[in-house]
């Protein structure tokens, strides 16, 4: 299993470092995603996020395929990558608010890796269209829950200095 994960990550690194190979790497990643093997899909989504970051405006046609496989995500890093992808391309995804609802539903129970993604970074204003992201309300609710929740449920535990004395 580790060998397969490393192989998928290598495909992603190749796409990022060697631009002429990127198209072939994306095709390979799509074929791997279509296998619906959980750990393969998760690794492919993680590296695809990095490819999107390296080549903005390209390969956005594969977003629907990624969104079709949300139910296979159970690892924090894969969920975090998908949250980033949906947040980044919300204006190009018809049901971005529903997909984000699915991911955010268990947001407060997730480990630190997923909670580290600030919902405010996902909500943006499109300066050209003057519109806000379709799941702005969801982000506001998550902010409120994080602010009002206790440290254990938010994944950001508060630290107490309990050294036994007043200083």
**Is residue 142 pLDDT above 60, yes or no?**
no
Distance between CA 147 and CA 160 in Å, rounded? 17
Q: Are 95 and 127 in contact (CB under 8 A)?
A: no
What mean pLDDT do residues 117-142 have?
A: 46
Cβ within 8 Å of residue 123, ≥6 positions away? 87, 132, 133, 135, 136, 139
**Is residue 71 pLDDT above 70, yes or no?**
yes
Structure-token pair, residue 53: 């970051």
For tokens 């390979």, the residue is 28
Q: What is the tally of helices (H) and strands (E) in the chain?
A: 10, 2
For tokens 């799941």, the residue is 135
**Is residue 158 pLDDT above 50, yes or no?**
no
How do residues 100-124 score in pLDDT, each as one tens digit?
Answer: 877 777 655 665 555 555 444 444 4
Residue 90: pLDDT band (50, 70, 90) is confident
Long-range contacts of 57-63 (CB under 8 A, 24+ apart): 58/22, 59/22, 59/26, 60/89, 60/92, 62/26, 62/29, 62/30, 63/89, 63/92, 63/93
Collapsing DSSP to helix, strand or coil, 126 comes out as strand
pLDDT at 65: 92
How do residues 21-63 score in pLDDT, each as one tens digit?
Answer: 999 999 999 999 999 999 999 999 999 999 999 999 899 999 9
What's the whole-model pTM score?
0.68
Distance between CA 93 and CA 88 in Å, rounded? 10
CA distances 33 to 47, 124, 141, Å, are 12, 29, 32
pLDDT at 146: 52
């Amino acid at each position: 299993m580790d060998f397969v994960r490393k192989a998928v990550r290598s495909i992603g690194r190749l796409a990022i470092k060697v631009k002429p190979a990127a198209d072939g790497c994306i095709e390979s990643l799509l074929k791997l995603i279509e296998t619906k093997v959980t750990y393969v899909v998760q690794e492919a989504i993680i590296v695809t996020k990095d490819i999107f970051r390296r080549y903005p405006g390209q390969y956005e046609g594969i977003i629907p395929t990624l969104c079709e496989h949300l139910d296979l995500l159970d690892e924090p890093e894969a969920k975090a990558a998908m949250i980033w992808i949906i947040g980044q391309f919300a204006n190009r995804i018809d049901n971005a608010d529903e997909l984000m609802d699915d991911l955010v539903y268990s947001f407060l129970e997730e480990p630190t890796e997923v909670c580290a993604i600030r919902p405010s970074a996902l909500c943006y204003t499109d300066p050209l269209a003057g519109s806000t992201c379709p799941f702005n309300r969801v982000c506001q609710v998550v902010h409120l829950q994080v602010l009002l929740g206790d440290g254990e449920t938010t994944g950001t535990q508060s630290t107490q200095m309990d050294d036994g004395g007043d200083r």
